[in-house]
């Protein structure tokens, strides 16, 4: 398993936002879904160190990371993309990715370092540009990309940090159908090499791309299984699929 939680809980005053969640994240795409207020983003904040659990433990590659700060979790190879893009808008697409690649080098802050010694950085940047389909827009300012392409760049920045696991928080939010389909295809391709944990409001996309789905309801796991199993689950249909919009 890449990531596991044991009886994970998070309280905000009298509100228990995450209640005794036991997750096991393996290969492929593992989606976390549920109605508004189900605790999905709170769960992601716990997994990445932005919140500390009230109870429970988190293990990543068999190492406990429960009390580690976000930067240490990131350095271990757990990357996260947020609902809002984290790109540098005034830098080019290439520069955004190069900075992310360089951030993982021990000499990343040596600004007098010869450009020739950064050849490996440039090669890796070009590789990621290819993987996220942005090679032809390498010199374009990030702020001039469509929203869909900005999300693709955001995922590319996550890839540039050499992740062993990627958490994506609503990557298709606010997109039209075409851009959404491109991002889902990109996620599918990446997941063949790197496991992905996905929060996504587009239920059709979730059912088409996921290997495993966890349904949260009022902070607790309501159901878990493959797409066909989740579709047939009466509790899920009653609590969420039939009467709620996924968010």
3-state SS class at 202: coil
CA distance 199 to 196: 10
Task: Give the Cα separation of 112 and 47 in Å (integer).
Answer: 37
Q: Name the DSSP class of 143.
A: G
More confidently predicted of 107 and 59: 59
d(CA 66, CA 56): 8
In a 3-state reduction of DSSP, which class is residue 60?
Answer: strand
Identify the DSSP state of 156.
H
> What confidence score (pLDDT) does residue 240 get?
63
Task: Check residue 106 and give its pLDDT.
Answer: 56
Instruction: Give CATH for domain 1-77+163-247.
Output: 3.40.50.300
pLDDT digits (tens, 9 = 90+) for 163-220: 999 999 999 888 888 888 989 999 999 999 999 999 988 888 999 999 999 999 999 9
Q: How confident is the model at residue 244 (pLDDT cuts 50, 70, 90)?
A: very low
Residue 117 has phi, psi (to 5 degrees) of -75, -10
How many CA atoms are closer than 13 Å to the CA of 181, on its beta-carbon side? 3
Could you state, in order of their start, the residue ranges of all structural domains in the chain? 1-77+163-247, 88-162
Read off the pLDDT of each residue in 133-150 and give the average, rounded to a whole number: 93
Q: Could you tell me which of 224, 222, 205, 229 has the C-alpha nearest to residue 213? A: 224
pLDDT surpasses 60 at 245: no
- Residue tagged 């349904």 (tokens): 215
The model's pTM is 0.86
Q: How far apart are CA 212 and CA 214, in angstroms?
A: 7
Between CA 218 and CA 118 the distance in angstroms is 49
| 20 band by pLDDT with thresholds 50, 70 and 90 | very high
pLDDT of residue 77: 93
- Residues β-bridged to residue 176: none
């Amino acid at each position: 398993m890449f990531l596991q939680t044991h009886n994970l809980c998070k309280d905000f005053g009298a509100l228990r936002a995450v209640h005794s969640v036991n997750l096991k994240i393996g290969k492929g795409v593992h989606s976390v879904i549920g109605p508004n207020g189900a605790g999905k983003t709170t769960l992601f904040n716990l997994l990445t160190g932005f919140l500390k659990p009230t109870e429970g433990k988190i293990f990543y590659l068999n190492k406990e990371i429960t009390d580690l700060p976000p930067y240490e979790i990131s350095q271990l190879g757990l990357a996260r993309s947020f609902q809002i893009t984290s790109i540098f808008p005034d830098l080019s697409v290439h520069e955004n990715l190069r900075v992310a690649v360089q951030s993982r080098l021990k000499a990343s802050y040596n600004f007098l370092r010869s450009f020739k010694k950064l050849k490996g950085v440039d090669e890796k940047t070009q590789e990621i540009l290819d993987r996220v389909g942005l090679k032809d827009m390498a010199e374009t300012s990030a702020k001039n990309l469509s929203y869909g392409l900005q999300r693709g760049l955001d995922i590319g920045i996550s890839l540039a940090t050499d992740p062993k696991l990627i958490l994506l928080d609503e990557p298709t939010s606010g997109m039209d159908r075409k851009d959404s389909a491109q991002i889902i295809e990109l996620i599918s391709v990446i997941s063949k090499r790197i496991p992905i944990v996905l929060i996504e409001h587009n239920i059709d996309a979730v059912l088409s791309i996921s290997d495993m789905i966890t349904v949260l309801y009022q902070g607790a796991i309501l159901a878990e299984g493959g797409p066909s199993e989740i579709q047939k689950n009466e509790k899920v249909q009653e609590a969420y699929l039939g009467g709620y919009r996924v968010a």
